[in-house]
Amino acid sequence: MIEDREYEIIENRYISGITWLLRIKAPSLKNAPAGSFAMVRATHHLQYDPMMRRAFAIADVQEDEILMFYDVYGKGTLMLTHKKPGDKVSVLAPLGRNFFPEHYDHYILVGGGIGFAGLSLFMKKLKEKRKKFIAIYGVRRKEQLSMLEWIKENGFEDDVIVYTEDGSYGEKGLVTRDLEELISQNPGTALAVCGPKGMMKAVMDVAKKTKAPAYLSLESKMACGFGICIGCVVKDTEKDSYVRVCYEGPVFDGHKIQL
């Protein structure tokens, strides 16, 4: 059930690049689905500049705490960095209605930049269910690998292939460099993808070429987070209509939408 509540901040710290980690004590969100997201209010009560909340993926659930990684781009996220442990933050969650399917035998998870936070909880669930998977984590340069610490702490080092465009860490190249080969080596695999639009388009080119199922967790600017404002629509090419990322998504069949 969606709730709008104030939660205590346990941790709010800088990680690397422009990325911060927000950890809150939220017992009521301990069953948040993998792929769901939250709308976080950066301002104090009765403060309305900036007015809108910010949408963040629920990257992990640890007992009665949830983790969210966020990039600092504008006024709202900058204000959020000023919050300290013990402060309260207003959170509307869990949001979303459609998540990654779990019936495939093998998965390749492809995350670009902060988009990896949209896959991390799903990756954790796959491991709990002993599903086979490979995770790909791609960024431009080493300092943008803000989730390396989380990967190591949760024992995923052998499951994740890291790509940097400049070769400063891991494999040099784009996330699609070896993707076609990985798909061919793992018949029946499904792709789970989250990241920048350009990256997802490139992944979908490979998915269409190999006829691999592909599910995209879309990132979009949102005002409400639950389908009222109709500000985050994408085109459903199968139905020739528009769907809302926050309400009909955030996960969609990549073969049926227009990026």
Q: Are residues 115 and 208 in the same domain?
A: yes
Containing structural domain, residue 253? 220-259
40, part of any domain: yes
- Give pLDDT tens digits for 125-165: 999 999 999 999 999 999 999 999 999 999 999 999 999 99
Work out how many domains the chain is built from and give that number. Answer: 3
Last-in-domain residue among 75, 95, 115: 95
117: domain CATH number?
A: 3.40.50.80
pTM over 0.85: yes
87, part of any domain: yes
- Give pLDDT tens digits for 61-109: 999 999 999 999 999 999 999 999 999 999 999 999 999 999 999 999 9
Output the DSSP codes for the chain.
--EEEEEEEEEEEEEETTEEEEEEE-GGGTTPPTT-EEEEE-SPTT--SS-S-EEEE--EEETTEEEEEEE--SHHHHHHTT--TT-EEEEEEEE-SB------SEEEEEEEGGGGGGTHHHHHHHHHTT-EEEEEEEESSGGG-TTHHHHHHTT-TTTEEEEETTSSSSEES-TTTTHHHHHHHSTTEEEEEES-HHHHHHHHHHHHHHT--EEEE-----SSSSSSS--SEEEETTTTEEEETTTT-BEEEGGGEE-
Q: Are residues 80 and 153 in the same domain?
A: no
Q: Are residues 131 and 210 in the same domain?
A: yes
42: domain CATH number?
A: 2.40.30.10
Q: Are residues 110 and 214 in the same domain?
A: yes
